[in-house]
């Protein structure tokens, strides 16, 4: 397994373990009037994405924040207080490739933007929209599809526990 895949796999495991804790302490939020900070890594298959603009859009499609990945493909974006969730994070990798991820509520502090998160977002839209139920089902479907296509039981590129982040059981 190459170094990038190992890094993504390790980050995914850490995120799943962190998601099993108390969600009220996982978001980087100081008070009611403070911003909600989301952090993660931007990847396109086996490549780190180190340039481009990440755009955060609220549930109405309005741009509410922007950020750029650093040289290690890490990003941090501060969503304003009172943001209307779900918030979609987008980055155009090139003219033909848009990567997306969704933050369902302010309890989430870590979210990678990757081909896997894009697959989950597209699948949820096809199921009827970006609801917690659709996102949970889309995440489960994406993990199953990834296992079938790779022949391995990995969820590389998927950040978070789909059953907790998207409102399912835990």
> Do 85 and 98 touch, CB atoms closer than 8 A?
no
Tens digit of each residue's pLDDT (9 = 90 or more) over 123-136:
999 999 999 999 99
**What is the per-residue pLDDT for 145?**
77
CATH classification of the domain holding 51: 2.60.40.1120
**Residue 26 belongs to a domain:** no
**Residue 11 belongs to a domain:** no
**Residue 16 belongs to a domain:** no
| Residue 159 tokens, joined | 């950040």
**Residue 114 belongs to a domain:** yes
Q: Which residues does the chain have with pLDDT short of 50?
A: 1-31, 153-159, 161-164, 167-170
**Residue 84 belongs to a domain:** yes
Compute the mean pLDDT over every residue in the chain, rounded to the nearest whole number.
Answer: 77
**Residue 170 belongs to a domain:** no
**Residue 10 belongs to a domain:** no
Percentage of the residues of the chain whose pLDDT score is greater than 70: 66
Residue 47: partners with Cβ closer than 8 Å, 6 or more residues away: 4
169 DSSP 8-state letter: -
**Residue 27 belongs to a domain:** no
Number of domains, the chain? 1
Structural domain including 139 reads 36-165
């Amino acid at each position: 397994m190459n170094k990038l895949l190992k890094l993504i796999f390790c980050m995914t495991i850490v995120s799943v373990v962190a998601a099993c804790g108390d969600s009220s302490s996982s978001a980087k939020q100081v008070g009611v009037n403070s911003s909600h900070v989301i952090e993660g890594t931007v990847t396109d298959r086996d490549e780190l994405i180190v340039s481009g603009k990440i755009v955060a859009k609220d549930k109405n499609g309005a741009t509410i924040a922007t950020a750029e990945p650093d040289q290690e493909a890490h990003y941090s974006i501060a969503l304003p207080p009172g943001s209307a969730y779900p918030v979609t994070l987008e980055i155009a990798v090139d003219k033909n490739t848009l990567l997306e991820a969704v933050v369902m509520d302010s309890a989430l502090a870590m979210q990678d933007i990757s081909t896997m998160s894009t697959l989950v977002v597209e699948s949820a839209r096809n199921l009827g929209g970006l609801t917690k139920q659709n996102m949970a089902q889309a995440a489960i479907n994406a993990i199953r599809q990834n296992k079938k296509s790779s022949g391995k039981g990995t969820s590389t590129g998927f950040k978070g526990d789909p059953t907790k982040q998207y409102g399912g059981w835990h």
